[in-house]
Structure 1
Amino acid sequence: MSNLLTLLEIGGPTLAVGGGAAYLKARHPSAYWCTVGLTSTTARLLGSYGAVMDACGLTVAPSRLRALAVRATTRREVRPVPPRRGVLRPTLTGLRLRLRLAPGQEPADVAASAERLRHAWGVHAVYVSEVKPGVVDLRLVGFDVLRRVRMPRKVAEGFLKVPVALREDATAFVRDYRAIPHQLTLGATLSGKSMFLRHLVAGLAPQPVALVGIDCKRGVELAPFAPRLSALATDPEQAAELLPTLVELMESRYDQIRARQGIASDVPDEEITSDVWGLPEDERPVPIVLLVDEVAELFLVATRKEEDRRDEMVTQLIRLAQLGRAAGIYLEVCGQRFGAELGKGATMLRAQLTGRVCHRVNDEASAKMALGDISPEAVLAACAIAPERPGLAVVGDTSGGWSRIRTPYLSLARACATCAANSHLVPDMPKLDRFRPRVADAVPAGLSTA
């Protein structure tokens, strides 16, 4: 009887702790990491750092001076030297560790061993980034942060910067229009593409920009944001009238820049500019973000007359993509399908869209159209997105870098309320007045910020 009581006294709490830890790991991985995972991973890393680096081939022979000092003071065997380890910095999702590489090593050596380091230290993923020559940053992620998305508390926000998703390394993916002016976003039905666009609109609504929409699905995606839109076209006929107006605005802005470039002798050097951002603030026109939903509808034609209209619209889109950045006009082109078979101009338009976001698509050709010129691995990653994970996407740019992201949930009611609350920020642009959608003065019932 006494043995049974002893077993219950010892085994009961142990079983409860083990069961609680297993439950946290399965249901609340962030809580598990903060209570159990962080401590165990830190102990494992500190205890095996030298051996793991040696097994991964990340050690070098010690200097001759160090070898002589070790032999003279300890008389033990001289071991290879791993990269110098910095201070461990715990985060809510993992650990950060800075390494100073030994002479002869490069960041690619550490990046090639990231998978080995992940298994050795028992974490979900290891990401390597270069800080400066000879110094790399290891970001250890303790669990799958894309399973239940929580955006970081501190995000580098700013003008024309919108945090829209979470990267797989637990950092925020920020859509920066000044750095990447134009972007192509693809995704099948229920893939999360509309949620991505919703975050963009809600993030841009409080900023002093003009939002222009082309939604050829009769406006079902962009019409709810009408209080904040400067213009909206809901079918190809309206788009065919709106695009020439935007081209005229772009040309007038180029005339304004050229007037500033008529460099008189009394103009300071810092006021000489080649884009709108170099103009004085009181003369600078308002930036325009053009949101195109279901771009394939602009390419599809049934008659000869529609074909001529299509060619004209595509030409104008390509002109905006080629010349719009300097005039402060940015494109966000979205669609379910995008390929060369859409017709003349599709490939040329894609070439001007630097940023690429590919959600789950129904065919490999669309993934290749979005990411094929970035990385073959990115195409495979996009094709492997499961339908059970809406919002998951592969993001990249034409520099070759790519990563997985996932957009958090944002209700349509909250996004609409944000647009309605910032309707006073719609800029005065007379050329777009005839395209501005009509909205009620009051916020529709059910659309609250709660």
Structure 2
Amino acid sequence: MDALWVVLPLLIIAVALVLRRYRPGWYWVTFGVTCAGVRVLARYRSVMEACGLTVPPSRWRLALARLTDRPAPESRSPRILRIRPTRTGLVLRLKIRSGQDAFDFSAASDRLRHSFVLHAVTAQEIRSGVVELRMTGYDVLRDVRMPAPGPASGVLRVPVALREDGAVHHRDYRSVPHALNVGATKSGKSVYQRNLVAGLAPCVVALVGIDCKKGVELAPLAKRFTALADNPDTAADLLAALVQYMDRVYQVIRAEQRVSADLPDAEITADIWDLPEHLRPTPVVLLVDEVAELALAANKKEEVRRDQIVTHLVRLSQLGRAAGIHLEICGQRFGSELGKGITMLRAQLTGRTAHRVNDETSANMAFGDISSEAVLAAIQIDKDRPGTAVVGDSSGGWTRIRTPHTTLRQAVDVCNAHAYRTPQIPELDPFRPVLPARVLSGTVLP
């Protein structure tokens, strides 16, 4: 029995070390969350003081101490409102003191991370006077494991990656209608797009693709695409047809607005989402792979085609949101060197995602007008971690994400399983993808 009490603690320690090395998620749930919670609560006051997140005592407290001949009161730390464990870390909600700001906690996130011996700490203002610290116990982006899908969280809102704080990153087209995705070769940009298509496949949406690499990225997923172009000439005609479809949708909206004095304000609509469901046109997501191929021109004829393409893209980005048309533009670079109109198009792309880039200029193209910290984070992405990216929007907020590796076979199976959901749009019928024939042992099968 005495030997058992000696062996059992050693066995528990060995199991904990093995889990920490090979299954950090299991280690966190079984051992890490308790140790981290005790450590945070025990060190809280000293860490807040060391990180400069305390405030001196108020004048009336100092005066009261002098009147009662007591020692001067200590500086006060933010009050803990709640501490909540999660499957990847801890969430600490604080009531900040007078004179403090949420930016103070964001600036001290690295110091808090080292002091609490955690992997990452991010600060977010919940409401006036309340800050939430999301602390991650381990590197959740090292081996991305998406949680089991829950109930649908909204129309055109699909999970595509895991954030560095353990939360799921969603691509929400209702709140961010258009987005830019940049990244170097082998950075994971195509896998991100593949995950996006697989996430959209079960939704009621028309997928339209432009893949000027002869369709090698999007053609295998063609069963779920309403229209597909694999060269710049076809892309120009497809975009023109999409603009015609947008005009028709606006005519439907105008016909159903029914603006009158006795009509409630809630029933007046200026986009497709407030239309009756039986009249609502199908929303469209346009995916453009390697946008530079559409913007390059070697002669006068190609320049005319290029101007038409860029004009149509700018028009769709400016006017398409209310018609339910959303843009997902991908490319290795997206700067003014691509020609006239490109910067105007980029200004309309609210969402920004930057995978590993080869130079700082490419990161500036995505985040230069959003956050200098996001630019620095984008150029520091390790080449040994494909799929890692920095995502942000025009509000200035940003975070690191990593897309789970999805093989082309997995994406094809998802698209084939939901091929029956592919809607038909009359304007886009000429661009309906022709499904490739199956090839087996050199013989083409129907």
Q: In the alignment, what sits opposite 1:286?
A: 282
Does structure 2 conserve the Cα–Cα contact (< 8 Å) formed by 1:196 and 1:391?
Answer: yes
Letter of the 2:344 counterpart: M
Letter of the 2:343 counterpart: T
Match of 2:105 among 101, 110, 113: 110
Q: In the alignment, what sits opposite 2:443?
A: none
Task: Single out whichever of 273-282 and 235-244 deviates more from structure 2.
Answer: 273-282
Q: In the alignment, what sits opposite 1:360?
A: 356
Cα deviations across residues 341-375 of structure 1 (Å, max 9, x unaligned)? 11122111111111111111223222211111111
How far off its partner does 1:260 sit? Answer: 3.2
Is residue 2:425 matched to residue 1:398?
no
How far off its partner does 1:61 sit? Answer: 4.2
Does structure 1 conserve the Cα–Cα contact (< 8 Å) formed by 2:356 and 2:388?
Answer: yes
Whole-Å Cα distance in 1 between the matches of residues 63 and 305 of structure 2? 80
How far off its partner does 1:291 sit? Answer: 0.6
Q: In the alignment, what sits opposite 2:180?
A: 184
Change (3 A) 1:288 1:9: closer
Q: In the alignment, what sits opposite 2:123?
A: 128
Letter of the 1:232 counterpart: L
Structure 2 spans left out of the alignment, 5+ residues: 441-446
Letter of the 1:124 counterpart: H
Match of 2:413 among 417, 436, 449: 417
Does structure 1 conserve the Cα–Cα contact (< 8 Å) formed by 2:181 and 2:353?
Answer: yes
Superposed counterparts of 1:279-358, under 5 Å? 279-358=275-354
Q: In the alignment, what sits opposite 2:251?
A: 255
How far off its partner does 1:20 sit? Answer: 4.3
Is residue 2:27 matched to residue 1:27?
no
RMSD value over aligned CA atoms?
A: 2.8
How far off its partner does 1:64 sit? Answer: 7.4
Structure 1 spans left out of the alignment, 5+ residues: 1-5, 445-450
Whole-Å Cα distance in 1 between the matches of residues 168 and 227 of structure 2? 30
Q: How many equivalent residue pairs?
A: 437
Does structure 2 conserve the Cα–Cα contact (< 8 Å) formed by 1:271 and 1:280?
Answer: no
TM-score normalised by structure 2 residue count: 0.90
Match of 1:142 among 137, 141, 158: 137
Whole-Å Cα distance in 1 between the matches of residues 193 and 317 of structure 2? 19
Q: In the alignment, what sits opposite 2:374?
A: 378
Q: Report sequence identity in percent.
A: 57
SS at match of 1:164: strand
Does structure 1 conserve the Cα–Cα contact (< 8 Å) formed by 2:81 and 2:94?
Answer: yes
Task: Single out whichever of 150-159 and 324-333 deviates more from structure 2.
Answer: 150-159
Q: In the alignment, what sits opposite 1:447?
A: none
How far off its partner does 1:168 sit? Answer: 0.9
Does structure 1 conserve the Cα–Cα contact (< 8 Å) formed by 2:215 and 2:230?
Answer: yes
Cα deviations across residues 132-176 of structure 1 (Å, max 9, x unaligned)? 111111111111111111223466732100110111111111100
Q: In the alignment, what sits opposite 2:114?
A: 119
Q: In the alignment, what sits opposite 2:214?
A: 218
Letter of the 1:279 counterpart: L
Whole-Å Cα distance in 2 between the matches of residues 265 and 68 of structure 1? 64
Q: In the alignment, what sits opposite 2:54?
A: 59
Whole-Å Cα distance in 1 between the matches of residues 216 and 278 of structure 2? 37
